């Protein structure tokens, strides 16, 4: 099976973590008596995806989005109290490259940093951690930053020798929930079609930070500099019929293949988090609010079903129903698990991944959680929606979901 390496363009977002209660009409929540600190999203940016970053050091990509996170809102980097960096399967824990990227981005040596690995939800976990630190009064401003690095993943023997490959878990989901290949291919084709339409309409422009990257031609070994300003894994003209011609990738008689699974992608994203009072004092623009998040465990052999259970858990914390949410960003690790999640929740597919999902855009493992936030804020601005949910399955059998409110 040929697996494409993707490049994810760099993303930064200003977010303020907060109670949703003040953001929703009284009919859409139950009151909570405990006091809450309101946090706001100030800015978000991401990178384009596919192979444009294959010859650029990941720390440099991360450095670009970290710098953009504070420069785009004219924030003094000395005010950043903490940085959390998500990175999946990093050699040595990933702390040293992340620290180097932070310093390279012009952030003071006094600013602390830590790395987080919760597989595919690493990016969202970072944002949650920073938001909680702000809520607790430990810091006033922080950045949740995410980097996904293809060479680290592909060269890690433990990842390659995983006893239960993710593709097999996809096959398990398809078999357990009677999701046919035709259904998976139809879902995947719609993801490509939605992403293609969104890209042609310029709907990703506001969320992507163009970056100049080193690129080496594999045939000629010629090295040159290219501008990565879009997701280059989006394929035009994809149909269920064209996908039906692809061979199964994990089982001879299986239904999961390169066309209905997420692409291997490189990219980075950063989310700037602060309290509303701090944002107002510093004159920072507010794009939205982080409200809450939830993580839940599911059987590892069907790890992809995580969103189907994490979303209700997150909404339950707020007394919200599925109908209270304007749209959903559910990561498409595989069409099988995305279809299962949509069917299990009973939400209309028209409310899910409006501009396409990871099957078309790509899935930088540590970055996707933040990419979804940037995309969600853009969709809210484009459609007038306000309350949205992001969610993803997590390798080893978990799911995570978060609720955001746009202030476009």
pLDDT in tens, 300-319: 889 999 999 999 999 999 99
Question: At residue 108, does pLDDT exceed 60?
Answer: yes
> How confident is the model at residue 15, as a pLDDT?
59
Average pLDDT over all residues of the chain: 83
Question: Residue 212 forms beta bridges with which residues?
Answer: 227
| Catalytic pick among 43, 64, 257, 363 | 363
Determine which of 19-23, 106-110, 129-133 has the lowest per-residue pLDDT on average. Answer: 19-23
Assigned domain for 408 exists: no
Share of the chain above pLDDT 90, in %: 56
**Rounded to whole angstroms, how far apart are CA atoms 161 and 149?**
18
Summarize pLDDT for 8-60 with one digit per residue, the tens.
Answer: 444 555 555 444 444 444 333 332 223 345 566 666 666 665 567 778 777 78
Q: Is 367 in the active site?
A: no
> How confident is the model at residue 38, as a pLDDT?
53
Contacts of 134 (CB under 8 A, 6+ apart): 16, 17, 37, 39, 140, 141, 142, 273, 274, 275
**Rounded to whole angstroms, how far apart are CA atoms 125 and 293?**
9
Q: What is the mean pLDDT of residues 212-234?
A: 93
Assigned domain for 315 exists: yes
| Catalytic pick among 43, 64, 120, 257 | 120
Nearest to 101 by CA among 67, 131, 133: 67
Determine which of 118-122, 162-166, 387-391 has the lowest per-residue pLDDT on average. Answer: 162-166
Question: At residue 255, does pLDDT exceed 70?
Answer: yes
**Rounded to whole angstroms, how far apart are CA atoms 163 and 395?**
12
Contacts of 3 (CB under 8 A, 6+ apart): 258, 263, 264
Assigned domain for 41 exists: yes
DSSP 8-state code for residue 137:
T
| Catalytic pick among 43, 64, 257, 393 | 393
Assigned domain for 32 exists: no
184-206 in b/e form (b: 16+ CB < 10 A) is bbbbbbbbbbbbbebbeeebbee
DSSP 8-state code for residue 209:
B
Assigned domain for 128 exists: yes
> How confident is the model at residue 145, as a pLDDT?
82
Assigned domain for 305 exists: yes
Q: 346: pLDDT confidence band, cut at 50, 70 and 90?
A: very high
Q: Model pTM?
A: 0.76
Assigned domain for 390 exists: yes
Question: Residue 387 forms beta bridges with which residues?
Answer: 405
Here the tokens at position 290 are 């982080």
Asked if 240 and 185 count as a contact pair (C-beta separation under 8 A), the reply is yes
Asked if 141 and 273 count as a contact pair (C-beta separation under 8 A), the reply is yes
**Beta strand extents in 140-183 (DSSP E only):** 141-148
The whole domain housing 270 covers: 5-27+37-155+162-403
Question: At residue 156, does pLDDT exceed 60?
Answer: no
**Rounded to whole angstroms, how far apart are CA atoms 166 and 28?**
37
- The domain total for the chain is 1
Cα angle for residues 358, 116, 227 (degrees, 5° grid): 50
Between these two residues, 162 and 258, which has the higher pLDDT value?
A: 258
Nearest to 259 by CA among 281, 280, 282, 235: 235
Other CB atoms within 10 A of residue 276 CB:
19
Assigned domain for 244 exists: yes
Q: 155: pLDDT confidence band, cut at 50, 70 and 90?
A: very low
Summarize pLDDT for 352-387 with one digit per residue, the tens.
Answer: 999 999 999 999 888 899 999 999 999 999 999 999
**Rounded to whole angstroms, how far apart are CA atoms 13 and 69?**
6
> How confident is the model at residue 46, as a pLDDT?
66
Asked if 17 and 273 count as a contact pair (C-beta separation under 8 A), the reply is yes
Residue 323: which CATH number? 3.40.47.10
Other CB atoms within 10 A of residue 137 CB:
9
> How confident is the model at residue 91, as a pLDDT?
57
Helix (H) or strand (E) holding 369: helix 368-383
Contacts of 238 (CB under 8 A, 6+ apart): 188, 189, 192, 193, 196, 259, 360
Between these two residues, 143 and 99, which has the higher pLDDT value?
A: 143
Determine which of 34-48, 94-108, 181-195 has the lowest per-residue pLDDT on average. Answer: 34-48
Q: 271: pLDDT confidence band, cut at 50, 70 and 90?
A: confident
Q: 177: pLDDT confidence band, cut at 50, 70 and 90?
A: very high
Question: At residue 297, does pLDDT exceed 60?
Answer: yes
Question: Residue 296 forms beta bridges with which residues?
Answer: 399
Determine which of 36-40, 59-63, 238-242 has the lowest per-residue pLDDT on average. Answer: 36-40
Asked if 370 and 44 count as a contact pair (C-beta separation under 8 A), the reply is yes
> How confident is the model at residue 204, as a pLDDT?
96
């Amino acid at each position: 099976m040929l697996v494409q390496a993707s490049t994810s363009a760099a993303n930064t977002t200003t977010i303020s973590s907060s109670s949703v209660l003040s953001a929703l009409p009284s009919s859409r929540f139950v009151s909570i008596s405990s006091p809450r600190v309101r946090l706001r999203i100030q800015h978000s940016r991401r990178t384009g995806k596919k192979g444009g970053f294959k010859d650029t050091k990941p720390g440099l990509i991360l450095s670009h989005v970290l710098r953009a996170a504070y420069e785009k809102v004219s924030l003094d980097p000395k005010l950043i109290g903490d940085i959390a960096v998500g990175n999946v399967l990093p050699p040595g824990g990933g702390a040293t490259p992340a620290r180097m990227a932070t310093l390279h981005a012009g952030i003071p040596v006094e600013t602390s940093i830590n790395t987080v690995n919760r597989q595919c939800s690493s990016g969202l976990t970072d944002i949650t951690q920073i938001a909680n630190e702000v809520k607790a009064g430990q810091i006033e401003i922080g950045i949740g930053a995410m980097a996904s690095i293809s060479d680290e993943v592909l060269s890690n023997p433990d990842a390659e020798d995983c006893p239960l490959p993710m593709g097999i878990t996809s096959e398990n989901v398809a078999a357990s929930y009677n999701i046919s290949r035709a259904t998976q291919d139809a879902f995947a084709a719609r993801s490509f079609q939605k992403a293609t339409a969104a890209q042609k309409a310029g709907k990703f422009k506001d969320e992507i930070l163009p970056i100049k990257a080193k690129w080496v031609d594999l045939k000629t070994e010629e090295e040159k500099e290219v501008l990565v300003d879009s997701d280059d894994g989006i394929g035009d003209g994809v149909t269920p019929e064209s996908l039906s011609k692809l061979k199964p990738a994990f089982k001879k008689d299986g239904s999961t293949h390169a066309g209905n699974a997420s692409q291997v992608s490189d990219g980075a994203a950063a989310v700037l988090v602060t309290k509303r009072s701090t944002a107002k004092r510093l004159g920072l623009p507010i794009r939205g609010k982080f409200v809450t998040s939830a993580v839940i465990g599911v059987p590892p052999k069907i790890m992809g079903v995580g969103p189907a259970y994490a979303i209700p858990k997150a909404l339950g914390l707020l007394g919200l129903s599925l109908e209270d949410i304007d749209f959903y960003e559910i990561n498409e690790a595989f069409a099988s698990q995305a279809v299962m999640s949509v069917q299990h929740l009973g939400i209309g597919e028209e409310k899910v991944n409006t501009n396409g999902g990871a099957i078309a855009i790509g899935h930088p493992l540590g970055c996707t959680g933040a990419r979804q936030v940037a995309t969600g804020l853009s969709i809210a601005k484009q459609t007038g929606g306000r309350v949205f949910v992001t969610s993803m399955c997590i390798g080893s059998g978990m799911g995570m979901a978060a609720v955001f409110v746009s202030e476009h």
